Amino acid sequence: MNAPLPLQAATQVALHDLLLGFLAAPGLEVGSAEADWLHQRRPGTDPVAALSGWLKQPPASALPLLGLVAHLQLGLAELVAVALASAVETDAMASRVVAWLQAPLPGSRPTVGLVTRIAEQLHIEHAAAQLAQGAAGRSRVLQWADTGRPFTETALQVPLPIVLALQGQGGHWPGLSTTEPDLALLTPASLQAAERHAKALASEADAGTLVVRAAHPAEARAACAAVANALGRRPVFVEGTVPDGLGAWAWMVQAMPVIVAEAAPGEHTVLPELDGCGGPVLVATGFDGTFTRHGSSPSPWTLPMPGPVERGLLWQRHLNDAALADRMGHSQRCGAAHIEQIARAAAHQARLEGVSEVAQAHVVGAIRDGAAPALGTLAERVPETIDDDALVVPVALGAELEGLRQRCCLRETLTDALGPAARTRYRPGVRALLVGPSGTGKTLAAGWLASRLGLPLYRIDAASVSSKYIGETEKNLSQLFARAEHSDVVLLFDEADSLFGKRTDVKESNDRFANAQTNYLLQRMESFEGIAILTSNSRARFDAAFTRRLDAILEFPAPGPQERRRLWLNHLGTGHALSTAQINQLAAVCDLAGGHVRNATLMASVSALQERRAIGFADVLMGVAAEYRKLGRQLPSGLQAASGAAP
């Protein structure tokens, strides 16, 4: 019943069955299921000959294991350990037998001592040292925990994804993404560049590393997938901690690890070795941070912003109107992922209207609604559309604002016909500072500019990007600028001096960190390729080095009588009972800015609505008086007399 296995039969059994059978000595007590199981697997010849025969004619199911052994150049002791440690994860009886052999030690995973006992049967010397220092441990195919026990009592484990890969079933590692990104996010030029990078990596003597930088994470992932596909592998995306043993598993399943990293400015990341990978490692990241692997800097690849023609082709994938796609390609400076998001939102709007074709109105609406920008909590969208009549500024300032709008429209082709000195270091960004007293229309002007450009406006709150932790503020700003560049939005830094203020003398550590943040902002603003509008009450609060980096500084003066008259008329509308003389009196005597005029009008409207009548002069004077009290000033004498006589 318990006859030893013939040599020919021994070559057809699983390796772990054969190895455990070596411990079935003739005098081993029988009667238990575990002992009987061992006796049935005891080879009919000495263990060395039995293993030699098995290795010469292994079953087909063992080929993945033997391939891994050859790839990692494992020793015989490591082969024994990996075979046993992987078997107990899925073979319940093998797990019981191992626990029975190791009693009274707890657990059903093989210990170093059990592997050593089998190694002695095979005349393998220094088996424990081979396990402790060999390639199986370095590649983390074989793992053990430091429990404080002697090494011989330490349990050995193979990660379950590797176990399944050894059985031909391991195409997935829990927590990692193997979903192929949409390669349609890449332009033809980027796809060709991916082919070139793949050839360069394949020709490197050692496993190379490529850092792929892009403004949008989806584009960086797609570029990495294109490189992996060109090398005949599928990408597996790793976010967070890289699991132990990933390199060997990736080799087994023909996958290419892609480490998804989001580094802060100045942050340095040492990439994992990934022993056993046997091929390149890719990194998908943004524009900041540095990386090293194997002690050297990896090769870089930065995806450029698509040009107008390439953007037009990207739009054509989503729009049936070639002319519209071409116009959008030339008017909207954004990346492929942003184009896809806008097109998806526009198509949804068309379906809501029961229309089969996406029209320009749907696309423009999707852009203005800010459907695509992923600025998260770093910025707040300003949804209002500001038309020409709502903006009341002096004629000269209006001309400057129109010039700023034109600069924004032409920013991408501005230097095409200029000389090399103008083209050198040119960035297609526009940076403007709007300076003036509170309430003079600076924020309104930013909204008007975004409305005329057909772009969404996002207000940046200093509190949302600032952090008490060192480096976090720069990281938040880096994400903000990169996403804004990719999405083609207008950034509004209200009260910008809180972020861009003058650098101070270093008297304590906080001053040094604050200056470092200001330095980063100055450098990043200069390289910013989007549109940024800053507002402040005084230009004197800014560092001189920063004002030199601005493309325009627009002064917003307090409104004069003509502007104040237009402000009152624009705010009061047609629902008032004020005479022309009364409006002229307000414009001449009441030296309030537009913000205060708005507040006074809203207060006047409350009284009129409650009494179901038109706004009267007395209502307006009540609102004006409240604004003067807020300012800590007396109501002008010309209005004090009027307030007593107003109906």
Average pLDDT over residues 572-599: 91
pLDDT above 60 (res 364): yes
pLDDT above 80 (res 507): no
What CATH number labels 561-641? 1.10.8.60
**Per-residue 3-state assignment (H helix, E strand, C coil) for 227-284:** HHHHCCCEEEEEECCCCCCHHHHHHHCCEEEEEECCCCCCCEEECCCCCCCCCCEEEE
Confidence of residue 279 (pLDDT cuts 50, 70, 90): confident
For 427, 497, 529, the CA distances from 500, given in Å and listed in that order, are: 20, 5, 18
Average pLDDT over residues 418-440: 88
Residue with structure tokens 């796609």? 325
CA-wise closest residue to 101 among 43, 159, 160, 19: 19
pLDDT of residue 206: 66
H/E stretch holding 532 reads: strand 531-536
pLDDT of residue 372: 46
User: Which DSSP string do the residues of 593-635 spell out, in sequence order?
Assistant: -HHHHHHHHHHHHHHHHHTTS-B-HHHHHHHHHHHHHHTT-PP
pLDDT of residue 597: 93
Q: How many residues does the chain have?
A: 647
The Cα–Cα gap between 87 and 109 comes to 9
Phi-psi region of 558 (alpha: psi -120 to 50; beta: other; left: phi over 0): beta
CATH 1.10.8 fits 308-371, yes or no: yes
Confidence of residue 475 (pLDDT cuts 50, 70, 90): confident
Predicted structure pTM score? 0.80
pLDDT above 90 (res 234): yes
Q: Of all residues in the chain, what percent carry a pLDDT higher than 90?
A: 54
Residue 99: which residues within 8 A CB-CB, separation 6 or more?
107, 108
DSSP for residue 428: S
pLDDT of residue 175: 92
Residue with structure tokens 């391991």? 170
Write the class of the CATH domain 388-555: alpha beta
Nearest 5 degrees, angle CA 115-CA 117-CA 121? 110
pLDDT of residue 300: 94
Confidence of residue 624 (pLDDT cuts 50, 70, 90): very high
Helices marked H in 332-461: 336-352, 360-368, 395-409, 420-423, 442-453
Lowest mean pLDDT, pick from 92-106, 197-211, 610-624: 197-211
For 378, 467, 560, 593, 614, the CA distances from 567, given in Å and listed in that order, are: 33, 40, 10, 9, 18
Q: Is the dihedral of CA 556, 562, 565, 569 positive or negative?
A: negative
Of the two residues 460 and 226, the one the predictor is more confident about is 226
- Residues 111-146 have pLDDT tens digits of 999 999 999 999 999 999 999 999 999 999 999 988
Confidence of residue 487 (pLDDT cuts 50, 70, 90): confident
pLDDT of residue 537: 87
Tokens of 498: 């809180």
Lowest mean pLDDT, pick from 87-91, 237-241, 522-526: 522-526
Please list the helix, strand and coil fractions of the chain in percent, rounded to the nearest 5, in that order: 50, 10, 40
